[in-house]
Structures are given as C-alpha cells and as structure tokens.
Structure 1
C-alpha cells in the first residue's frame, strides 16, 4: 500500500508540474488568459485523479479518452473555444492520461511530458507564429460581414480600431441585436496601448 501511495504521489506531482508548465509557461505566456489557463490545470488534475483511481479496475486508454469526450460534450460544447484552446485542452488531457495510466518508467514519462511542453513553447514563439496578434471585437455593421463586402469590412475595422488588420473571422452572429462577434488578426504597433479594448461602437 505504501508503494502504491508513493507511486500515486510521484505521478501526481509529475502531472501537475507538467500541466502548470504547459498552461502558464506556454499558453498564458501568449494568450494572457488566466481563467482559461487555471481551468486547464483543474481539468488536467481532475482527469488524472479519476483515471488513476479507476486504473485499478483495468481501465484502458480508450475508456479514458471516452471519459474525456463525455466531459467535453457536457461542458465545453456550449463555449466558443479557439483552435489553440482546444489544442492545449487536448495536450492537457493527453499529459494527464499518459501520467495516470502509462506503464512507462517515471523518468520516461517526465521526458515525454517535457518534450510536449518544449514543442508547445517553440511553436508559440514569434519565430514560427509571426508577430501578429488577435482580438475579439463586437461589430454592429452586420451588412459588412457578407463575403462580397470583405474588403469594406477590413477597411472599416482598420479605420475604427487604428490597427493594421490582416484578416477577420466571424465567430458569432446576433440577428436580434444586429451585431457580430469577430476575431481580427493584426500586426501590433509599438504604440499600441496595453489593454486596449477593441469593442467598437456605432457612429
């Protein structure tokens, strides 16, 4: 029983350490979203504890991923999650499952988790992602979101935000309020004010 408790403690520390590095050293470093980062940490800890405790009843990796899918359908399907957010959520889940049910030696688990965190860190550097940034804006000139008016939309966003907008994606449309949630991708200016709010208002 002592060996089991020690093994659980070691794997738990490896899991939470790896997830903290991934969420705060990689995700939060770029996105500055503490709420999402902390949610990922709690999600990873919960997945680890559940899968580790159920591992004693001959739980397979397929069943563990099925459990993750159930959690995803119950909660995360109602939220708008970016592709990057879903990628980090998958990595958090993968690390938690790997640490909980893998039969590999502890040193190999640490090495593999470190490699995953290192790759995530490198991929999110400006060397690979470029120097662009993104912002979520609420836009009320809903007629401009039509594909044939894309040039007008980009020009209007550039004039009203003062940003060098490169591209825009429609996240959500509210026909009752005649507004749309847009994700804009732009080249940040050195004079950009920290904490600038890109929520546009009607003229």
Structure 2
C-alpha cells in the first residue's frame, strides 16, 4: 500500500521510485566509507594524534561523493568532475590556516570520493579496489618511514617581547625550551603586539626527539 501511495505521488513528477543505480550507489558508498575510515582513523589520526580535522575529512568526503554521483546521472562529463575537484581541493577556512599535511589529506579524501563515485563500466571493481588500496597503503608507508622526520608545531603567545630580536635568538630559544619542555628545532616570529607587549611564536619540533608530548597544535599562553 505504501509503495502504491509513493508511486501515485511520484509518478506525476516523473521521478522513479527505484532504479538500478541504487545498488551501485550503496556498493560504491560502502567502499568509499571503508577506505576513507581506514585512511583518516588508522593512518592520519594514529600518526597525528589530533581530532581537529576528522569531522571535516569525513563530511567533505561524503558530500563530494554524493555530489559527483548525482551529477554523473546528468552526464555532465569529466570537466565538471575536475571543476568540483579543484573547488574543494583549494578550500580554505577563515578561522585557521590548514597546514600543508592536513591539506594533503583533504585532497586525498576528495580524490577518493571522486574516484569511487565516478567510476563507470570502463573501470572494473578490481581496478577500483587497487586504486583505493594503493592510496591507503602508500599513505601508511610514508607516515611510518623511520627516516622521515615529522615536524610538529605549537603556537605560543609570548610575553618577553625584548627577547624577540635576532641578536637574542639563543636566549629566546633557551627560554622556550625550558618553559615548554620541548627540544625545539626552529622558531618563527608572528604578529607582534607592542600595546600588550606580546608576540606570537610558532615553535617547531620533531616528534621522535621528544621524551613525552602532551599535545600538538595547541595555543598556549606562556
């Protein structure tokens, strides 16, 4: 009875209640979700330890997947897909600048969504599986290379503005290492506020050189 009612409502609108693409949607969406979950949770989060971008990665991946799959029904072609890929690929937020590594992962989750949603009869499921597996395995491999140094960053609001001079760099570095407990590789001075006598400092350090790290990418007031 419900099906008859639905048909009666949708038939004047020329909208089918079900077609063969529904099965394709479910299968490909399942593949997409499995791949992006492995990439984001088991590769990215395991190595970065930050949850700041998990929501962003999952939701952008899902939205791009559905947009591309839907537009595919209208035969808009590869140009539209590449246009969407470019738009989302250069997406930036006005709150914080996305670090290059996080931007790379954003590009990857968008690419996974595009590949899985736009694959057609010319691409077998074996090829689709191979593409997804290579992306995940290569990411995991590069993340776990022992000789690849992972440089982390912390942003600090620092009140000893008199040390923010090239001539007193060593004093500034020593004071920051004593206060933070980090072995710092380099620092970058940001905006200087002479009214409040504060300066924003980006502190960079290598994760494998630290004895213990409590967190990353957090703003501290020292």
TM over 0.5: yes
Q: Answer with 75-84 or 102-111: which moved more.
A: 75-84
Give the whole-Å Cα distance in 2 for the aligned partners of 1:70 and 1:198.
Answer: 30
1:138 equivalent in alignment to 2:160: no
Residue of 43, 63, 66 corresponding to 1:46: 63
Q: Is contact 1:138-1:180 (8 Å) kept?
A: yes
Give the whole-Å Cα distance in 2 for the aligned partners of 1:199 and 1:165.
Answer: 15
* Structure 1 residue 30, shift from structure 2 partner: 1.2
Question: Corresponding residue for 2:74?
Answer: 57
Computed over aligned residues only, the root mean square deviation of the Cα atoms, in angstroms, reads 2.8
Question: Corresponding residue for 1:115?
Answer: 134
Question: Corresponding residue for 1:159?
Answer: 178
Give the whole-Å Cα distance in 2 for the aligned partners of 1:123 and 1:193.
Answer: 22
Give the whole-Å Cα distance in 2 for the aligned partners of 1:149 and 1:64.
Answer: 53
Are residues 142 and 31 of structure 1, via their aligned partners in 2, closer, same or farther at CA, if it must alter by over 3 Å?
Answer: farther
Are residues 61 and 129 of structure 1, via their aligned partners in 2, closer, same or farther at CA, if it must alter by over 3 Å?
Answer: farther
Greater radius of gyration (CA): 2
* Structure 1 residue 199, shift from structure 2 partner: 2.0
Q: Answer with 157-166 or 87-96: which moved more.
A: 157-166
Are residues 17 and 147 of structure 1, via their aligned partners in 2, closer, same or farther at CA, if it must alter by over 3 Å?
Answer: farther
Q: Which runs of 5+ in 1 are unaligned?
A: none
Q: Is contact 1:133-1:188 (8 Å) kept?
A: no
